[in-house]
Amino acid sequence: MKKYMLMAAVILCAVTLKAQKPENILAAVGTPPNPKVPISWNRYHDYAAITEICKKLAAAHPNLIKLETIGKSYQGKDLWIMSISDHKVGNADQKPAMYIDGNIHSNEIQGSEFALYTAWYLVEMYAANNQTVQSLLADKTFYIVPTINPDARDSFIHKANTAHSPRTGLIPIDNDRDGVDNEDGFDDLDGDGHITMMRRKNPNGRYKVDPSDSRRMIVVGYDEKGEYEILGSEGIDNDGDGLVNEDGEGAYDPNRDWGWNWQPNYIQGGAYKYPFSIPENRAVVDFVMKHPNIAAAQSYHNNGGMILRGPGAAEDVDTYNAQDVRVYDALGKKGEELLPGYRYLVVYKDLYSVFGGELDWFYGGRGIYTFSNELWTGYAMYNKAGADNTQDQLYTFDKDLLMKDAFVDWKPYKHPQYGDIEIGGFKKTYTRLHPGFLLESDAHRNMAFSVFHAYNTPKLSIDEIEVKEIGSGLKQVTAVVSNLRMIPTHSSQDIKNNIEIPDIVSLTGGTVVAGMVVNNRDLGITTEQKLDPTNIRVENIPGNSYVTVRWLVKGGTKFTVNVNSKKGGLASKSN
C-alpha cells in the first residue's frame, strides 16, 4: 500500500511541476507570467525572510538590482536597500530617483510587503520584456528599503501583541519612570501569540453578549442589567503598581524623530532624545543626503486608506507653497483613482499635528515630493464606503469572507489577580493588517501609484539647438531644454532654501565668449551669466515646460549641449 501511495505522490508531483512550465501557463495581464523568484504575496515576512527575498531578487536580476546595506538597526540588523534600475543604461545614482520605505512603525508591517512587491514587480516585469517597465528603469532609479524598523518588526511578528502595539522601536525606555525599563509589557496568558481581551462575569457590568453574534460584546442599555465587565487587554500587573500592560517595549515614536520642526517629548509625545537620535532614521538620512538624485519619496504606514502629504503641523503651513501644492494635488488626485477607498489628505488639517515626521523632513529639508500612504481601508471589505472598519463590519466580514479565522474564541482562564475570567477577541493580524487575499491587490495598486509618482519625476530633453552667424567671427548658439514630466527639477521649497545646486547647461565645440539665460526669445530679453559663461546655471526647469539658454561663441561648427541636473538627470545633444 505504501508503495502505491509513494508512486501516486511522485506522479502528482510530476504533474504539478509540468503545470508550472511556461507552456502550461496562460499569463494574466499585468502580472509577471513566470517570475524568476516566485513569492506568495498573501502573507507577512519577518526580517530573515525579507533578507532572503532581497538576496534572491538581487541574484536573479544582477543587472537590475544592487543590494547593499545603509546601516544597522539598534540590535545590529542590516538595513537593506535595493537600488533598482537598468544598470546597463547610465549611472543609477545620476537618474531621477524614487525612494520607498516601509514599516517605520513596528505594527505597520504591510509596508514592507508593499515595498518588496514593488521591487519584485519591477524586475520581474522587466525580465518579462514589458516595454513600459523597461523604459521606466532606463530613465529612473528606485531606492527601496523594505523595513526601517526591523528589530520591532520581528518583535511584533514573533511576540504576542495586539493589532495596535507596539508602534515603537526597541531601544529600552523606562516608560513609567519607576527605574526599570520595559518591565511590564503584555503577557500572553494562553500562549496563542495574540493579545486579546479579558472579560469577567459581573451582573453590574456594562456589557452583554450580542444576541446575534456570541463572539461580540455590546454595551447594555441604560435600563438593562449587565452580564460582563471588560478588564482590558490580556495581561498581568508584573510590577505591582496596580496597572496592567502600561510599560511595554519602547515608548518613543520613530516618526517623531526627524529633523524638521522637531519638538521634545513634553510637546510632541513619542519624541526621543534629539533629531535623528534613532540609528535607523540616521541611516536613512545619511543615504538620502548622499543621493541628491532622489526627487520623489513614499513611506508606507497603516491604516485608514489615506494618501498623506504634509505639513504635519499648522505652524509649517507656509512651507508648502502654491507651486508645490499644485504638483502634490495632481499626484494625490491620481492616487485616489488608482486606490479605491483611499483619500488624499493633509496631515495637520485632516488628521492631527505631527512634529518631527519623516514626511516633512523629506520635503522641508530636502525639497522632495513625498507621500505617506496609510495602507488598508475597510472600504475593501465589501467595496463600499460608509462603514469602514466599524465593529459591525469587522464581525460580519470575518464571518462572511474569513471563515471566522480572525477571532480567538472566548475561553475560561484563572487569572492570578482577577480570578475567573475569559480571554478572547480579534487576532493581532486583524483590523489594521490586510487579510491575505486582499494583500496582493492593494500592494499592486500602491505600487502603481508609486510608479506614477516616479514616472513624473523630471525627464530632460534638448529639443532644439539653433546656430546663427552674427558677424565678427561670432556664432549665436541657442538651446531649448525641456522637462517632459510633471515634477520640476527643483521644488519651490528647494529654490527658496537653496537646498540643491542649480541645473547646469554647458556647451562644447567652440570658445564661449558669453552665456545667458533667455527670458523672452521673441523680444530678445536675456540675463547674462558673467562668471563661467560656458556652464550656465539654471535655477529650475519647471514641470511640463522648458528653459532657453544662449551662448556667443568663437570658432567651431559642431556643438554639443549637455545638461546636468541633480534631480533631473543628464541630457545631451549635438547639432
Q: Are 421 and 412 in contact (CB under 8 A)?
A: yes
DSSP-derived secondary structure letter, 373: E
Angle at 535 between CA 530 and CA 536, to 5 degrees: 65
Question: How far, in whole angstroms, is CA 201 from its chain's centroid?
Answer: 44
Q: Are strands 294-302 and 97-102 parallel, antiparallel or unpaired?
A: parallel
CATH architecture of the domain formed by 2-156+253-379+435-455:
3-Layer(aba) Sandwich (3.40)
Q: How far apart are alpha carbons 412 and 200 in whole angstroms?
A: 9
Q: Provide the terminal-to-terminal Cα distance of the chain, rounded to the nearest Å.
A: 81
Region of 37 on the Ramachandran plot (φ > 0 left; ψ -120 to 50 alpha; else beta): beta
Question: Running DSSP on this structure, what letter comes out for residue 220?
Answer: P
Alpha-carbon gap, residue 308 to 445, rounded angstroms: 16
Q: What is the SS3 string spanning 84-131?
A: ECCCCCCCHHHCCEEEEEECCCCCCCHHHHHHHHHHHHHHHHHHCCCH
**Cα–Cα distances in Å, from 107 out to 104, 110, 301, 323, 488?**
9, 9, 9, 35, 35
Number of Cβ within 10 Å of residue 140's Cβ equals 26
Under a CB-based contact definition with an 8 Å cutoff, are residues 397 and 381 in contact? yes
pLDDT at residue 22, rounded to an integer: 79
Cβ-contact 190, 423 below 8 angstroms: yes
Q: Where are the domains of the chain?
A: 2-156+253-379+435-455, 172-249+390-426, 460-574
Cell readout for 400 is 462572511
Instruction: Decide whether 2-156+253-379+435-455 matches 460-574 in CATH topology.
Output: no
**Residues of the chain scoring pLDDT < 70:** 1-20, 172-185, 246-251, 387-389
> Domain 460-574: what homologous superfamily?
Immunoglobulins (2.60.40.10)
Q: Of residues 229, 280, 358, 374, which has the active-site annotation?
A: 374
pLDDT attached to residue 11: 46
Is 374 tagged catalytic?
yes
What strands, in cross-sheet order, belong to the sheet with 569-574? 535-538, 503-508, 560-565, 569-574
Reported as a single tens digit per residue, the pLDDT across 220-240 is 998 899 999 999 999 998 777
**Peptide bond before 166: cis, by omega within 30 degrees of 0?**
yes
Q: How far is 389 from 432, CA to CA, in rounded Å?
A: 9
Query: What's the count of helices (H) and strands (E) in the chain, helices before strands?
Result: 13, 23
Per DSSP, 255 falls in state G
Which residues contact residue 142 at a Cβ distance below 8 angstroms, ignoring those fewer than 6 apart? 82, 83, 84, 85, 97, 98, 99, 100, 118, 119, 122, 454
**pLDDT at residue 171, rounded to an integer:** 73
**3-class state of residue 400 by DSSP:** helix
Question: From CA 566, how far away is CA 523, in angstroms rounded?
Answer: 31
DSSP 314-345: GGGGGGS-HHHHHHHHHHHHHHHHHSTT-EEE
Strand order in the sheet with 460-471: 460-471, 474-483, 545-554, 511-520, 525-529
